[in-house]
Structure 1
């Protein structure tokens, strides 16, 4: 077993690195897309006009109500029929990003709703406009409290990146398939890949926890602990 793992690393290390690079690229870029679009959706649903809120809600429910794999298939296989051709990697990143945006928007919107009304009133009493209060006070507080949920989403995206396998993107699982078909050491190669995913998940979780501690509002953590 150990000898087989060593042989795979020695002979197919470059392919595994290519898979790792694409996995990290898929995860990072789709998360950024999802966070950026999700923040806009959350604010639009929370403070926008009713027609905009309904439109954004329809988008969120459509994305959440259909499988990510189907969404990727539409982007990669169906769009060329209307003249839009995307590479496998681009389609995977865009599909994962649009999917993640729907979920991240709900995390952020829930955090916005949880911000005490006193924060809003205090901002307006200082002479801030509605937009200033939203983006200077409400959203920063909401983003801080949504970090645990966003951490989970980032880990989910890391694991969901394996779905890009179906678009022939050479990420970790696809790289494992190639190696396994050539060596027939499927147990060894997928053990290596599982360890890589586990290490990456732990690194993401610990990094996000450090970020959460770093941006903790002084005194707030104590108040939350006393409530519990």
Structure 2
């Protein structure tokens, strides 16, 4: 416990960095993923093509390379000093959005086609069909796989440690410089991630129970 009690500011800063990366990156991934997922099932060929190219291009690129692009290429296009935390958030969000989009697409495919066709027959636009008919029903089936995506995002935040972004992924190096036992540090980091994953699993159970009652 002395690693925690002797360096509380260091641990709180690392935990805060992980949470910022997770929540901010998750927000970007969720919004962008829903948009791209809708494009993937859109009746417009151009939208489907753009969505497919984005998903297959980014998803098949290692996250480390995406981080490299945002850390070393994007700053060349932006005036002023780059904020690596913001760049890491966008890298995580854009990368994770591809998995969110595919999860949304799989959920949309579980909704009977006849419901969308009936809605279009009533004169609803594609956006109204998606927002009022399809997505609310698809949400029930995508909760477990979507939570798996966000658990992966939580663990992927450690990749940002290699790009000077403070989080739980680089606290081992900090503790090593202070002469602390690295094995103990790693065990504490593992415990922190296990607790956060358990919290996400608890949220998943609450959402599943809520949607089950709604049925």
Structure 1 length-normalised TM: 0.88
Question: Is 1:211 the equivalent of 2:207?
Answer: yes
Question: Is 1:200 the equivalent of 2:161?
Answer: no
Q: Is the contact made by 1:96 and 1:157 (CA closer than 8 Å) also made in structure 2?
A: yes
Q: Distance in 2 between matches of 1:192 and 1:39?
A: 35
Q: Distance in 1 between matches of 2:78 and 2:126?
A: 42
Partner of 1:16: 11
Find 1:47's aligned residue among 13, 38, 42: 42
Structure 2 residue matching 1:66: 3-state secondary structure: coil
Structure 2 residue matching 1:183: 3-state secondary structure: coil
**Cα distance, 1:155 vs structure 2:** 0.7
Partner of 2:74: 79
Q: Structure 2: 5+ residue runs without aligned partners?
A: none
Question: Is 1:165 the equivalent of 2:161?
Answer: yes
Find 2:173's aligned residue among 166, 170, 177: 177
Once superposed, which parts of structure 1, at least 4 consecutive aligned residues long, lie more than 4 Å away?
124-127
Q: Is the contact made by 1:33 and 1:98 (CA closer than 8 Å) also made in structure 2?
A: yes
**Cα distance, 1:32 vs structure 2:** 1.1
After TM superposition, the structure 1 = structure 2 runs for residues 30-179 of structure 1, keeping only pairs within 5 Å, are 30-83=25-78, 86-124=82-120, 128-179=124-175
Cα deviation 1:170-193 (Å, max 9, x = unaligned): 101212220122124101111111
Q: CA RMSD in A?
A: 1.7
Q: Distance in 1 between matches of 2:14 and 2:178?
A: 16
Q: Distance in 1 between matches of 2:46 and 2:120?
A: 25
Cα deviation 1:55-97 (Å, max 9, x = unaligned): 1211111101111111111111112333455311111100000
Shift of the 120–217 alpha-carbon distance from structure 1 to 2, 3 Å rule, reads farther
Bigger Cα Rg: 1
**Cα distance, 1:152 vs structure 2:** 0.4
Q: Distance in 2 between matches of 1:193 and 1:153?
A: 20
Shift of the 122–188 alpha-carbon distance from structure 1 to 2, 3 Å rule, reads same
